Amino acid sequence: MKMRNMRSKSNIKNELLSIKKALTGLQKKEDEMQTLINGKGKAEETSSSLLKLYEIMMQENKTTRTLLLNMSQVLSKLESELAPIEEYEVDNVSEQPREVPLSELDAKILQIIQIKGMACADDIKKEMNYKGRNAASARLNNLRRQGLIERYQLGHKVYYKFSASKATKETLIVSPPQ
């Protein structure tokens, strides 16, 4: 799969280089046209310059349309090549769950939240026999950062709820034996 991905990257680089070359050519033609427009001369030279200018404009119009069509085709081709790669990468990520090691205290806090449905820092303080709310709040915030629980503000209190759908799909909770 890496070989295919690298091939796609080199194709993209080559296509970008060819597009840059075509755009540089267009810039040179535009400079020529500007020189013709700014050129001062006799009436005969002006009419022949305008005819030359018109020819160049028609040529560049055709070149621009062709370039844009080619760019569109290349982008469509690259999108179709990259789609299976993106699907493969998404599938690979979901196959291997993220492991979250938990201490006995964190496992017990998760169990309290699961039993009660929701818990605040005061509930955890009481259940874990902490002296203050700071330790309970710190542990709850740590569990929230790990994606195991969700935070809800109800009035002045902050409650935490176990996120079963999120935690069980993406996470493997590893706690020490008791």
Residue span of the structural domain in which 167 resides: 98-174
Same domain, 142 and 113: yes
d(CA 123, CA 142): 16
pLDDT in tens, 3-56: 455 556 677 777 777 777 777 777 777 777 667 666 654 555 667 777 788 888
Last residue of a domain, one of 62, 95, 128: 95
Same domain, 67 and 111: no
d(CA 137, CA 122): 9
Last residue of a domain, one of 95, 123, 144: 95
Host H or E run for residue 40? none
pLDDT in tens, 83-118: 665 555 554 555 566 677 788 888 899 889 989 889
pTM of the model: 0.44
Count of structural domains within the chain: 2
